A and B are shown apart, each in its own frame.
Chain A
Amino acid sequence: MTRGGSTRGSAREGSAAQEAGPLLDVRDLSVTYGNGASGAEQVALSVRAGEIVAVLGRNGAGKTSLLRGIAGFLPSEHTRVAGVASIDGVNVAGRDPGQSFRHGIVLVPERNKVFSSLTVAEHLRLAARAGHHPDAPCAFEALERLRTRRAGLLSGGERQMLALEAAFRNEPRLLLVDEASLGLAPVMVKELMSRLKEIARERSTAVIAVEQDAAAALRLADRYYVMNHGRVVSDGLARDVSAVGLAAEYLGTVR
């Protein structure tokens, strides 16, 4: 497990300054699972404060490994993370999830993104340590009338909203969202993504959104990266490309 030296600490706290150095700087990040399988290989990526970045790619392209490599694995998962993922000059690659969390990185995982046995209100209480009052109004208004419901009984869209709501209440500087659109109706995806973008902009939270749905991702993001076989194969500005063209590119890069 490489703990690597610290890199330059240039990002200014909380500012959305485009011209400042990156908030998160990922270099040579590799993720190797306990069974020897490689998840991500020497990935380089950067995110400026307040910027929204989409990571696109097919199933198994290494997108989730990248997010988890940044957010950290539990020691019992026996996963090796090498390389650098520095936030404010502190390398969190290969550290445990708590370390990343304390540096303002919050991950909303792809599956099991809520605690099925806890109620919505309990999720908000769990996320209340950043100073948000548990009873404060939800940024996702739909959750208000669901406060007493168990998260296990929520619909897919409601779960996603709850996960994002709780994540934002932890005051992240960098929010990692894994496949938020997966399994949701197109109308729901559109609504959820635009709300996510609004909240992130309001609070100038940087976001890395891993997506298979290129159209949804490009509406959300400022920039994009495309991954294949564990590596970043291209990147660019979201406004410069069309979703159809981009999707054709990464779905077309079949061996």
Chain B
Amino acid sequence: MNADIANVISNGLVTGCIYALIGVGFVVVFRATGVVSFAQGAFMVLGALIFAGLARAGLGLAVGLPVMLVVMLVIGGVIYRLVFARIAGAEAFVASIATVGLGIVLEVIALLIWGPEVIAVPQLFNFRSRVHVVGELNFSALNLFVMGLTVVAFVVIVVGLNRTPVGLRMRAVANNPQLAAYSGVRVVRTSMIAWGIGGLTAGLAGVLYLLGSQPDPVTVYSLGLAAFPAILLGGLDSIPGSLVGGILIGLLQAAIGVFVGGEWQDVGAYCVLLAVLLLRPQGIFGSAEIGRL
């Protein structure tokens, strides 16, 4: 295996995992409340900044990461309760526009509190140590950490949705919120959990991105939008789709970066988005119904 391809695979998988995490939160929110969230990028910024603050205060990954996840879970839930409980459901389209406003507000709050500079975070990984896999392919400890956490997050979400009472209620709300309410499911509470998961996974994506690069908040925010091609490719309402779509777009962008040039990466992803819309609007795994949304 030559070095270029090895590079594509390792970079593509890592970027893909971050897209997948942004995407899975998006999908959970979309399924539970029908809202197309343009605010995932803002949740990433918040997660990254909160974690960076904790890390600078001396808390390592073992404490900082769980604390960040809990805080993001709460923020996501509270925002649903305050903003979207009133308008989601019957007016999903209006709610989707509202997420644009929400995204701007959250980003501005983050910028005003923490400033627009590159997010400072202490070095938590030794980038020199690499794990050799096969041929030229090797992964840094950070790469393995990113991929491992993504796998854990997906396993927890999939098992949680399919094997727990809360997950069953979330799927009921996703399928038909009105009927769920008449069946005794507390729709608002369940939707709050969905938004909490959306915030939590976006926050995790933000932290993982932060650890690998040295981004400023605005760059993190725009990555939230850059994940849309991946989300659409996988299917807006499919959880496995968000993983597959994320990885595919990640690999594609890495390949473009290596063989064509970095400036073509975003435009390449968006051309895929247009192609998906033309050829298979429900994505690889999405249900056909959402084509009519």
Q: Which of A78, A107, A118 contacts B90 (CB 8 A)?
A: A78
Q: Is the CB of A76 within 8 A of B182?
A: no
Chain A residues within 8 Å of B, Cβ to Cβ: 71-72, 74-78, 96-98, 101-102, 106-109, 112-118, 122, 125-127, 129, 166, 170
Q: Is the CB of A127 within 8 A of B183?
A: yes
Q: Is the CB of B91 within 8 A of A115?
A: no
Q: Is the CB of A98 within 8 A of B183?
A: no
Q: Is the CB of A109 within 8 A of B182?
A: yes
Q: Which 10 A-B pairs have the closest CB atoms?
A: A76-B89, A97-B181, A115-B175, A76-B90, A107-B182, A101-B184, A117-B175, A77-B90, A115-B172, A97-B182
B85 within 8 A of A: yes
Residue pairs across A and B with CB atoms within 8 Å: the count is 77
Interface digits, B165-204 against A, CB 8 Å rule (1 contact, 0 not)? 1001101101111111111111100000000000000000
Point out the residues of chain B lying under 8 angstroms from A115, CB to CB.
171-172, 175-176, 179-180
List 17 A-B residue pairs with CB atoms under 8 Å apart, sorted by A's residue number.
A74-B178, A76-B85, A76-B87, A77-B89, A97-B181, A97-B187, A101-B182, A106-B184, A108-B182, A109-B178, A116-B175, A118-B168, A118-B171, A118-B175, A122-B171, A126-B168, A170-B183
Q: Could you tell me the distance in whole angstroms from the C-beta of B196 to the nearest C-beta in chain A? A: 19
B73 within 8 A of A: no
B230 within 8 A of A: no
Q: Is the CB of A74 within 8 A of B183?
A: no
Q: Could you tell me the distance in whole angstroms from the C-beta of B173 to the nearest C-beta in chain A? A: 9
A255 and B37 alpha carbons, distance in the complex (Å): 48
Q: Is the CB of A112 within 8 A of B182?
A: no
Point out the residues of chain B lying under 8 angstroms from A77, CB to CB.
89-90
- Given known pairs A77-B89, A78-B90, A125-B168, the reply for A98 and B175 (CB within 8 Å) is no
A117 and B177 alpha carbons, distance in the complex (Å): 13
Q: Which of A98, A112, A117 contacts B186 (CB 8 A)?
A: A98
Q: Is the CB of B179 within 8 A of A112?
A: yes
Q: Is the CB of A74 within 8 A of B89?
A: yes
B88 within 8 A of A: yes
A13 and B27 alpha carbons, distance in the complex (Å): 44
Point out the residues of chain A lying under 8 angstroms from B181, CB to CB.
72, 74, 96-98, 101
Q: Could you tell me the distance in whole angstroms from the C-beta of B82 to the nearest C-beta in chain A? A: 13
B56 within 8 A of A: no
Q: Which of B165, B184, B187 contacts A74 (CB 8 A)?
A: B187
Interface digits, B132-158 against A, CB 8 Å rule (1 contact, 0 not)? 000000000000000000000000000
Q: Is the CB of A129 within 8 A of B184?
A: yes
A8 and B250 alpha carbons, distance in the complex (Å): 65
- Given known pairs A76-B87, A78-B90, A122-B168, the reply for A98 and B184 (CB within 8 Å) is yes
A27 and B235 alpha carbons, distance in the complex (Å): 48
Q: B85: nearest residue on chain A (CB-CB)?
A: A75
- Given known pairs A115-B172, A125-B168, the reply for A74 and B186 (CB within 8 Å) is no
Point out the residues of chain A lying under 8 angstroms from B87, CB to CB.
76
Q: Is the CB of A113 within 8 A of B171?
A: no
Q: Which of B171, B174, B177, B183 contacts A166 (CB 8 A)?
A: B183
B86 within 8 A of A: yes
Q: Could you tell me the distance in whole angstroms from the C-beta of B88 to the nearest C-beta in chain A? A: 6
Q: Could you tell me the distance in whole angstroms from the C-beta of A35 to the nearest C-beta in chain B? A: 11
Q: Could you tell me the distance in whole angstroms from the C-beta of A90 to the nearest C-beta in chain B? A: 17
Q: A176: nearest residue on chain B (CB-CB)?
A: B182
- Given known pairs A76-B90, A117-B171, A126-B172, the reply for A170 and B178 (CB within 8 Å) is no
A117 and B168 alpha carbons, distance in the complex (Å): 11
A126 and B177 alpha carbons, distance in the complex (Å): 14
Known contacts A126-B169, A170-B184, then 20 further A-B pairs from the complex at CB < 8 Å, ordered by chain A residue? A71-B182, A76-B88, A76-B90, A77-B90, A96-B181, A97-B178, A98-B184, A101-B182, A101-B183, A107-B182, A113-B179, A114-B179, A115-B172, A118-B175, A122-B168, A125-B165, A125-B168, A126-B168, A126-B183, A127-B184
